[in-house]
Chain A
Amino acid sequence: MRITVSVNGQSYTRDVEPRLLLVHFLRDELDLTGTHWGCDTSNCGVCTVQLDGVPVKSCTVLAVMADGHEVTTVEGLERDGELDAVQKGFVECHGLQCGFCTPGMLLTARALLDRDPDPDEARIREAISGQLCRCTGYENIVRSIRWAAEAR
């Protein structure tokens, strides 16, 4: 089936099988390997991307379901060589160690701040509660997102 998906503002048309998952479309067809893939069971959240601005787990969305829609991956956060505030926050507050969960965390954080520019800690913890980080224990991730909120 022929689909056209806008990813990070660029339009891509590809022939795909209906059973292709969005995560594999992004990684294997478009070479956008910033979107990670972990549990395969919709639990870990490392595959999170934005679909029309809304965070979704891309291992549980078919690529054909994104036809005609807009996807944002971690590659799309940077603008004109300038990192997004949430990316800067993760740098400033040591919000990552191995980086495996980081792309999904960044996209969830961006979507949260777009809706609620000044979320408190409880709200941040709630927003990332569908995403697992094996490294930092969340403390610094929460601080990073707060940093981005304050930097606005």
Chain B
Amino acid sequence: MQVPATFEYERAESVPHALELLERYGPEARVVAGGHSLIPMMKLRLAQPEALIDINGLADELGGIAVEGDELAIGAMVRHTELLESATATDLFPIFRDAERVIADPIVRNRGTVGGSLCQGDPSEDLSAVFAALRATAVIQGPGGMRTVPVRRFHQGPYETAVEPNELLIQLRVPVAAGTGSAYEKVERRVGDWPVAAAGAVLRIEGGVIARAGIGLTAVGAAHFCAPEAEAYLEGRAPDEEAFAQAGRIAAEHCEPHADQRGPADYKRHLAAELTRRALARAAGRS
């Protein structure tokens, strides 16, 4: 039987209250959202926070999916299921539907949150690749007020993010532009598993050429979950199969996959190229 070590438990009643509790308990305190990364880690004693600050009571304050001006705003406490079922999000960016359908399983998706996924900073995390492809911005609140960080600078290393121990991730903001298509391709060993490798693509096509490309990669050791060299290659080119295949090759060259129980490094690198190619082709078809 796996049982977490003892900890103090506090329920946050508002964002300022959560920040006050984080300040009071110090760096050994952790926020708990869906708990589907943190609680398993606590059961294995890989994490032993001294205090848990439960933010489930802030589901309204930190929830909601809405277009605000030229951005789509997604609250940190939005659960995977809610994002999957949000017509607002998935009509604008089908990449959310593609990815959410293959993140964990429906029951885990009922609890796990968007904010928790990003803050966990797992190198195989799916939404990190999605938001990197979308060039989203993370809104973070701390004692000194709000600040924003591009998702491409959010991850600072495995399980390390830009969110300081006394801060909360509040929201993700995704730029919305006409003519944008998006898609996500993942290979997993079985339903509900973490990716062996996965790629997301976002393309804005104007006048028959690629005006903007976003490529997100996960589980293959891509720095900041993205592939800037492949994106640069695509911009200004015609959206055709040859360009997509070449972009996939460039993306794969810049990956650093590690061999593990999900497969050898060369297989993962091969997947990075092929999944990037497929995601780009599907994204182009949807633009």
State whether A56 touches B110 (Cβ < 8 A): yes
Instruction: Knowing A129-B192, A130-B192, say if A40 contacts B6 (CB, 8 Å).
Output: no
Which A95-142 residues have C-beta < 8 A from chain B? 108, 126-127, 129-131
- Cβ contact within 8 Å between B35 and A57: no
Question: Is A32 interfacial (CB-CB < 8 Å)?
Answer: no
Count of interface residues, chain B, beta-carbon cutoff 8 Å: 28
Are B35 and A54 in contact, with the CB atoms below 8 A? no
Q: Which residues of B does A touch, CB under 8 Å?
A: 1-9, 32, 35-36, 39-40, 42-43, 52, 54, 56, 104-108, 110-111, 191-192
Q: Establish whether residues A126 and B40, one from each chain, have CB atoms under 8 Å apart when the complex forms.
A: no
| Residues in B neighbouring A55, C-beta threshold 8 A | 106-107, 110
Which residues from B are CB-within-8-Å of A45? 105, 107
A-B interface pairs (CB < 8 A), number: 72
The docked-state distance in angstroms from the alpha carbon of A59 to that of B106 is 16
Q: From B34, which residue of chain A is reached at the shortest CB distance?
A: A60
In the assembled complex, the CB of A111 is this many whole angstroms from the nearest CB of chain B, namely: 9
* Tier of interface size on chain A: 20 to 34
Contact A60 B6 (CB under 8 A): no
A57 to B54 alpha-carbon distance, docked (Å):
18
CB distance from A58 to the nearest CB of B (A): 10
In angstroms, how far is the closest chain A Cβ from the Cβ of B134?
25
State the CA gap A109–B137 with chains docked (Å): 38
In the complex, chain B residues whose CB is within 8 Å of the CB of A41: 2, 40
> Is B35 within 8 A of A40, CB to CB?
no
Q: CB < 8 Å: which of B9, B32, B107 contacts A57?
A: B107
Instruction: Return A62 CB to nearest CB of chain B, in Å.
Output: 7
Q: Which residue of B lies closest to A108 (CB)?
A: B107
Contact B111 A19 (CB under 8 A): no
Given that A65-B56, A129-B192 are known contacts, is A60 also in contact with B40, CB under 8 Å in the complex?
A: yes
Q: Considering the complex of A and B, which 6 residue pairs feature the smallest CB-CB distances, nearest first?
A: A130-B105, A18-B9, A130-B107, A19-B4, A40-B2, A129-B191
| Residues A60 and B1 in contact in the complex (CB < 8 Å), given A65-B56, A130-B105, A130-B106 | no
**Contact present for B111 and A56 (CB under 8 Å):** yes
Which of A17, A21, A48, A62 interacts with B107 by CB under 8 Å?
A48
Contact B2 A131 (CB under 8 A): no
Which of chain B's residues has its CB closest to A112's CB?
B106
Interface residues of A in 15-72 (CB under 8 A from B): 17-19, 21, 40-43, 45, 48, 54-57, 60-62, 64-65
CA distance A54 to B59 in the complex (A): 15
Instruction: Output the least CB separation between A15 and chain B (Å).
Output: 13
The answer to whether A64 and B9 touch across the interface, beta carbons within 8 angstroms, is yes
Candidates B8, B9, B36, B191; contact of A60 at CB < 8 Å:
B36
> Which residues in A have their C-beta under 8 angstroms from that of B9?
1, 18, 62, 64
CB distance from B163 to the nearest CB of A (A): 22
A4 to B108, CA, bound (A): 24
Tell me how far the C-beta of B30 lies from the nearest C-beta in chain A, rounded to whole angstroms. 13
Chain A positions within 8 Å of B111 at CB level: 56-57, 60-61
In the complex, residue of chain A having the shortest beta-carbon distance to the beta carbon of B193: A43
Of A19, A21, A131, the contact of B5 (CB 8 Å cutoff): A19
In the assembled complex, which residues on chain A have CB atoms less than 8 Å from the CB atom of B107? Answer: 45, 48, 55-57, 108, 130-131
Task: Verify A42–B36 contact, CB threshold 8 A.
Answer: yes
Q: Is the CB of A126 within 8 A of B1?
A: no
A43: chain B residues at CB < 8 Å are: 192
Q: What are 27 A-to-B residue pairs whose CB atoms are below 8 Å?
A: A1-B9, A18-B6, A18-B52, A19-B5, A19-B42, A40-B1, A41-B2, A43-B192, A45-B107, A55-B107, A56-B107, A56-B110, A57-B107, A60-B35, A60-B40, A60-B108, A60-B111, A61-B111, A62-B39, A65-B35, A65-B54, A127-B106, A129-B106, A129-B191, A129-B192, A130-B106, A131-B105
